[in-house]
Protein backbone atom coordinates (compact mmCIF):
# COMPACT_ATOMS: atom_id res chain seq x y z
CA UNK A 1 0.00 0.00 0.00
CA UNK A 2 1.25 3.48 -0.82
CA UNK A 3 1.09 5.61 2.26
CA UNK A 4 0.40 9.15 1.18
CA UNK A 5 2.52 11.35 3.38
CA UNK A 6 0.50 13.85 5.30
CA UNK A 7 0.55 17.19 3.55
CA UNK A 8 1.35 20.26 5.61
CA UNK A 9 -1.75 21.47 7.45
CA UNK A 10 -2.40 24.21 4.89
CA UNK A 11 -2.30 21.82 1.92
CA UNK A 12 -5.07 19.52 0.77
CA UNK A 13 -4.37 16.53 -1.47
CA UNK A 14 -5.96 15.95 -4.88
CA UNK A 15 -5.51 12.50 -6.38
CA UNK A 16 -5.32 13.11 -10.14
CA UNK A 17 -6.42 9.78 -11.64
CA UNK A 18 -5.63 8.93 -15.25
CA UNK A 19 -3.30 11.92 -15.16
CA UNK A 20 -1.30 11.32 -18.33
CA UNK A 21 1.90 13.30 -18.83
CA UNK A 22 2.77 15.82 -16.10
CA UNK A 23 1.29 19.24 -16.74
CA UNK A 24 0.16 21.63 -13.97
CA UNK A 25 -2.34 23.09 -16.46
CA UNK A 26 -4.36 19.87 -16.28
CA UNK A 27 -5.76 20.77 -12.87
CA UNK A 28 -9.01 22.75 -13.11
CA UNK A 29 -9.56 26.01 -11.27
CA UNK A 30 -11.13 24.12 -8.33
CA UNK A 31 -7.57 23.32 -7.24
CA UNK A 32 -6.24 26.86 -7.24
CA UNK A 33 -4.91 29.15 -5.92
CA UNK A 34 -1.61 27.33 -6.03
CA UNK A 35 -0.23 26.51 -2.63
CA UNK A 36 -3.51 25.15 -1.26
CA UNK A 37 -3.49 21.81 -3.08
CA UNK A 38 -0.89 19.10 -3.51
CA UNK A 39 -1.35 16.96 -6.64
CA UNK A 40 -0.65 13.22 -6.44
CA UNK A 41 -0.67 11.70 -9.94
CA UNK A 42 -2.06 8.18 -10.55
CA UNK A 43 -1.97 6.45 -13.93
CA UNK A 44 -1.87 2.93 -15.32
CA UNK A 45 0.83 3.93 -17.84
CA UNK A 46 4.37 3.92 -16.39
CA UNK A 47 5.57 5.97 -19.39
CA UNK A 48 3.90 9.12 -17.95
CA UNK A 49 5.90 8.75 -14.69
CA UNK A 50 2.96 8.94 -12.27
CA UNK A 51 3.48 9.17 -8.52
CA UNK A 52 1.38 6.01 -8.23
CA UNK A 53 1.08 3.38 -10.94
CA UNK A 54 -2.40 1.83 -10.70
CA UNK A 55 -5.70 1.41 -12.49
CA UNK A 56 -8.72 3.47 -11.47
CA UNK A 57 -10.59 0.19 -10.97
CA UNK A 58 -7.99 -1.02 -8.45
CA UNK A 59 -6.43 1.72 -6.37
CA UNK A 60 -5.68 -0.62 -3.43
CA UNK A 61 -2.24 1.00 -3.18
CA UNK A 62 -3.94 4.20 -1.98
CA UNK A 63 -5.12 4.24 1.63
CA UNK A 64 -8.81 4.62 2.37
CA UNK A 65 -9.91 8.12 3.39
CA UNK A 66 -6.48 9.55 2.52
CA UNK A 67 -7.22 12.33 0.00
CA UNK A 68 -9.38 15.44 -0.05
CA UNK A 69 -10.31 15.29 -3.73
CA UNK A 70 -10.19 13.00 -6.74
CA UNK A 71 -9.88 14.61 -10.18
CA UNK A 72 -10.88 12.42 -13.14
CA UNK A 73 -10.82 14.03 -16.58
CA UNK A 74 -12.22 11.85 -19.34
CA UNK A 75 -11.39 8.48 -17.79
CA UNK A 76 -14.69 6.79 -17.03
CA UNK A 77 -15.74 6.53 -20.67
CA UNK A 78 -12.66 4.36 -21.31
CA UNK A 79 -14.01 1.67 -18.98
CA UNK A 80 -16.56 -1.01 -19.77
CA UNK A 81 -19.95 -0.17 -18.24
CA UNK A 82 -19.63 -2.88 -15.58
CA UNK A 83 -16.29 -1.36 -14.45
CA UNK A 84 -17.70 2.14 -13.79
CA UNK A 85 -19.23 1.25 -10.38
CA UNK A 86 -15.92 -0.32 -9.37
CA UNK A 87 -13.95 2.82 -10.27
CA UNK A 88 -16.46 5.13 -8.56
CA UNK A 89 -16.37 2.96 -5.43
CA UNK A 90 -12.58 3.35 -5.46
CA UNK A 91 -12.93 7.15 -5.79
CA UNK A 92 -15.34 7.14 -2.83
CA UNK A 93 -13.13 4.83 -0.75
CA UNK A 94 -9.97 6.97 -0.97
CA UNK A 95 -11.78 10.24 -0.14
CA UNK A 96 -11.88 11.67 3.35
CA UNK A 97 -15.22 12.65 4.89
CA UNK A 98 -16.21 15.96 3.29
CA UNK A 99 -13.98 15.28 0.28
CA UNK A 100 -15.19 15.35 -3.29
CA UNK A 101 -14.70 13.78 -6.69
CA UNK A 102 -14.63 16.07 -9.71
CA UNK A 103 -15.37 14.07 -12.86
CA UNK A 104 -15.73 15.10 -16.47
CA UNK A 105 -16.93 12.88 -19.34
CA UNK A 106 -18.45 13.44 -22.79
CA UNK A 107 -22.14 14.39 -22.71
CA UNK A 108 -23.73 11.80 -24.97
CA UNK A 109 -27.06 13.65 -24.99
CA UNK A 110 -25.43 16.66 -26.66
CA UNK A 111 -23.41 14.36 -28.92
CA UNK A 112 -26.60 12.53 -29.94
CA UNK A 113 -28.11 15.85 -31.07
CA UNK A 114 -25.20 16.31 -33.49
CA UNK A 115 -25.54 12.72 -34.70
CA UNK A 116 -29.28 13.31 -35.30
CA UNK A 117 -28.29 16.31 -37.45
CA UNK A 118 -26.07 13.96 -39.53
CA UNK A 119 -22.89 15.67 -38.28
CA UNK A 120 -21.16 12.49 -37.06
CA UNK A 121 -17.79 13.21 -38.68
CA UNK A 122 -17.84 17.05 -38.54
CA UNK A 123 -15.64 18.80 -36.00
CA UNK A 124 -17.72 19.89 -33.02
CA UNK A 125 -14.83 21.74 -31.39
CA UNK A 126 -11.03 21.91 -31.45
CA UNK A 127 -9.06 20.51 -28.52
CA UNK A 128 -5.29 20.58 -27.90
CA UNK A 129 -5.29 17.16 -29.64
CA UNK A 130 -6.98 18.65 -32.72
CA UNK A 131 -10.54 18.68 -34.08
CA UNK A 132 -13.03 16.54 -32.15
CA UNK A 133 -16.06 15.12 -33.97
CA UNK A 134 -19.08 13.35 -32.45
CA UNK A 135 -17.54 10.10 -33.69
CA UNK A 136 -14.51 10.78 -31.43
CA UNK A 137 -16.74 11.53 -28.45
CA UNK A 138 -18.69 8.32 -28.97
CA UNK A 139 -15.86 5.87 -29.68
CA UNK A 140 -12.65 7.59 -28.64
CA UNK A 141 -10.22 9.98 -30.30
CA UNK A 142 -9.74 8.41 -33.73
CA UNK A 143 -6.33 9.92 -34.45
CA UNK A 144 -4.90 8.69 -31.14
CA UNK A 145 -6.35 5.22 -31.63
CA UNK A 146 -5.03 5.08 -35.23
CA UNK A 147 -1.62 6.07 -33.83
CA UNK A 148 -1.61 2.98 -31.62
CA UNK A 149 -3.02 4.37 -28.37
CA UNK A 150 -5.82 1.85 -27.93
CA UNK A 151 -6.40 3.10 -24.36
CA UNK A 152 -8.19 6.06 -26.00
CA UNK A 153 -11.10 3.84 -27.10
CA UNK A 154 -14.41 4.60 -25.40
CA UNK A 155 -16.35 1.67 -24.00
CA UNK A 156 -19.26 3.39 -22.26
CA UNK A 157 -20.90 6.79 -22.00
CA UNK A 158 -23.15 9.03 -19.95
CA UNK A 159 -25.94 11.54 -19.96
CA UNK A 160 -26.32 13.93 -17.03
CA UNK A 161 -28.95 11.66 -15.49
CA UNK A 162 -26.93 8.44 -15.81
CA UNK A 163 -23.72 10.04 -14.49
CA UNK A 164 -25.56 11.41 -11.46
CA UNK A 165 -27.22 8.02 -10.85
CA UNK A 166 -23.85 6.23 -11.03
CA UNK A 167 -22.29 8.59 -8.48
CA UNK A 168 -25.24 8.29 -6.10
CA UNK A 169 -25.16 4.48 -6.43
CA UNK A 170 -21.45 4.60 -5.51
CA UNK A 171 -22.35 6.21 -2.19
CA UNK A 172 -21.77 9.89 -2.82
CA UNK A 173 -24.23 11.91 -0.74
CA UNK A 174 -24.38 15.15 -2.68
CA UNK A 175 -23.96 15.17 -6.47
CA UNK A 176 -24.22 18.02 -8.95
CA UNK A 177 -23.86 17.54 -12.72
CA UNK A 178 -23.62 20.42 -15.21
CA UNK A 179 -23.02 20.65 -18.97
CA UNK A 180 -20.39 22.82 -20.59
CA UNK A 181 -20.18 24.24 -24.12
CA UNK A 182 -17.64 21.62 -25.24
CA UNK A 183 -19.97 18.61 -25.11
CA UNK A 184 -18.84 17.56 -21.64
CA UNK A 185 -20.51 16.83 -18.33
CA UNK A 186 -18.89 18.00 -15.10
CA UNK A 187 -19.90 16.24 -11.89
CA UNK A 188 -18.97 17.21 -8.37
CA UNK A 189 -19.76 14.45 -5.87
CA UNK A 190 -19.22 14.82 -2.12
CA UNK A 191 -18.61 12.27 0.60
CA UNK A 192 -21.23 13.04 3.23
CA UNK A 193 -22.58 11.18 6.25
CA UNK A 194 -20.55 8.64 8.16
Look at residue 145 and tell me if it is in a domain.
no
Q: pLDDT per residue over 3-58, tens digit each?
A: 454 544 568 999 999 999 888 788 898 787 667 899 999 999 999 999 999 999 99
Q: pLDDT per residue over 111-168, tens digit each?
A: 999 999 999 999 999 988 899 999 999 999 999 999 998 888 999 999 999 999 999 9
CATH number at residue 31: 3.40.50.150
Domain that holds residue 89: 12-106+154-190
Look at residue 49 and tell me if it is in a domain.
yes
Looking only at the bridges linking them, the beta strands covering 130-132 and 12-17 are: unpaired
Look at residue 64 and tell me if it is in a domain.
yes
Look at residue 38 and tell me if it is in a domain.
yes
Look at residue 165 and tell me if it is in a domain.
yes
- The kind and range of the H/E element at 104 are strand 95-106
Q: Which pTM value belongs to this model?
A: 0.91
- The alpha carbon torsion through 67, 169, 173, 111 (nearest 10 deg) reads 90
**What is the domain count for the chain?**
1
Look at residue 120 and tell me if it is in a domain.
no
Look at residue 56 and tell me if it is in a domain.
yes
Amino acid sequence: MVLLAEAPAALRTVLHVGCGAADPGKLPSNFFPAGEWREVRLDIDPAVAPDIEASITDMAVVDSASVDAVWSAHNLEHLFAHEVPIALAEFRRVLRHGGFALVTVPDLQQVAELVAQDRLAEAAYVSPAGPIAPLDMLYGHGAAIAGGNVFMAHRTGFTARTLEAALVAAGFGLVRVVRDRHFALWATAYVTGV
